[in-house]
Chain A
Amino acid sequence: MSERETSPEWPLYEVFVRGKRGLNHVHVGSLHAADDAMAVLHARDVYTRRNEGVSVWVVRSEHITASSPDEKDPMFAPSGDKVYRHPTFYDIPDSVPHI
């Protein structure tokens, strides 16, 4: 067995679960796991034990690129007063779901 570098803690993963009534995966939390396969098992055990999910995604936290809190205003404030970007000015037929 070759010398392997061991770190004191397993890498961090972010967990996304798609619920039975949900159409998309939703971030539910994070966990530690040694590799991707173990992260899926851990996600199943930690985040779907109350019958919440039908599908799980995991991704190493370090692979997520996030916006910076410092840029919050330039990033998001400009959309705050542009109500006309919402499709609220016409009627949606009842037969069109998930809008």
Chain B
Amino acid sequence: MHAPDDHESAYAGLLVNDAHWAFGTDFEDPLAGVDTTIPDGVDPAVLARYCLALGDDALVLSHRLTQWCGRAPDLEEDIALANIALDLLGQARLLLTRAAAADPSCVPALPEGSPVPAEDALAYFRDDRDFGNVRMVEVPNGDFAEAIARLLLFSTWRLALFEHLAGSGDAVLAAVAAKGRKELTYHRDFAGRWFLTLAQGTEESRRRLLDALAGLWPLWPELFRTHPVEAAAAAAGVGVDPASVAAEVDAVLGQVFATCGVDRPEAAPLAGVAGRFGRDGAHTEALSLLLAEMQVVARAHPRGQW
């Protein structure tokens, strides 16, 4: 049976003899040797909900990027987007696993004897109102410029968060952030280079990029709203208040925009629903459609082994 705090299964088969690979593999478990006990004074429910929020951001954007598979402008970009999607999926897996370990009551109940691990139960058996992702990651894919603009905004924000999260009082979150920083640095670099290329490429590429940015801009302020769970996690020394990284994120973005000759769009923030936002489980219709596609097979086979 799968223990809720067993992070090693993805690596178990890869950490043994890999001499048959020509280049060698040398995979590492990012959580090897990490203390998985919950730090004193931290409310496990707060830690779990905080991990779920960060994990859901990664999970949902990962799925949006996965939808690019086979559709990118060329083979190399197709693989690049798939790599980024896999990085985010890996972050989601570790964060959902941590959420389940901290507070098993957040994991949906499955039929007796189901072999589905806790992080899969969280990913595939929760409804949209239980997802805590920001709405920017769930809006449907547009063109390639939209994928680049969204990835630039998201990775710039998340990298700043993770830089601080690497000092988390929770050793697991700190390890996840330390691993994620390297990945997000690449994502931001990738998106930034393409942002520049599209902004200064042709009239058409620039028009598409500016359209995409304008479309995403109303969703941007939501990433810096402080949800009570984030405030509580920050106060307990395990999380980062997103409002606290707003200035540094804006400075980085300002540099990219200045280099690209792009102005910040002027658009009013997308309102919440009765004061509730993505972190509260109030989502756009796009998320339920995305989840319907992502979850249908797992839900049809709750005893399935994958």
Q: Which residues of A contact B (CB under 8 A)?
A: 1, 10, 17, 19-22, 31-34, 37-38, 41-42, 45-46, 49-53
B203 touches A1 (CB 8 A): yes
User: In the complex, A51→B185 CA distance in Å?
Assistant: 17
Given contacts A37-B193, A41-B190, A45-B83, A31 and B76 within 8 Å (CB-CB): yes
- Smallest beta-carbon distance B9→chain A, Å: 18
Q: Which residues of B contact A (CB under 8 A)?
A: 21-27, 74-76, 79-80, 83, 189-190, 193, 197, 200, 202-203
The reply to whether A42 and B76 contact each other, CB–CB distance below 8 Å, is: yes
Contacts of A31 in B (CB 8 A): 75-76
Residues in A with CB closer than 8 Å to B22 are 19
Q: Are A21 and B79 CB-contacts (below 8 A) given A37-B193, A41-B193?
A: no
CA of A50 to CA of B23, assembled, Å: 9
Q: Do residues A19 and B23 form an inter-chain contact, with CB atoms below 8 A? A: yes
Are B197 and A34 in touch, CB under 8 angstroms?
yes
- CA–CA, A38 to B23, complex, Å? 23
A32–B21 Cα distance when bound, in Å, is 26
Top 7 A-B pairs, shortest CB-CB distance: A19-B23, A52-B23, A42-B76, A45-B80, A21-B24, A20-B24, A51-B25
The contact of B79 among A33, A49, A51, by CB within 8 Å, is A49
B80 touching A42 by the CB < 8 A rule?
A: yes
B193 close to A49 (CB less than 8 A)? no
The residue of chain B having its C-beta at the shortest distance from the C-beta of A33 within the complex is: B76
When A45-B80, A46-B76 are in contact, do A20 and B203 touch as well, CB less than 8 Å? no
Report chain A residues within 8 Å CB of B193: 37-38, 41
Q: List 30 A-B contacts (CB under 8 A).
A: A1-B200, A1-B203, A10-B74, A19-B22, A21-B23, A21-B24, A22-B23, A31-B76, A32-B75, A38-B193, A41-B80, A41-B189, A41-B190, A45-B76, A45-B79, A45-B80, A45-B83, A46-B75, A46-B76, A46-B79, A49-B79, A50-B23, A50-B25, A51-B23, A51-B25, A51-B26, A52-B21, A52-B23, A52-B24, A53-B23
Nearest residue, chain A, Cβ from B14: A51
Which residue in chain B gives the minimum CB-CB distance to A46?
Answer: B79
- 15 more contacts with CB within 8 A, not counting A19-B23, A37-B193, A51-B27, are A20-B26, A22-B23, A31-B75, A38-B193, A41-B190, A42-B76, A46-B76, A49-B79, A50-B21, A50-B25, A51-B24, A51-B25, A52-B23, A52-B25, A53-B23
- Closest Cβ neighbor of A17 among chain B residues: B23
Q: How far is the CB of A71 from chain B (nearest CB, A)?
A: 30
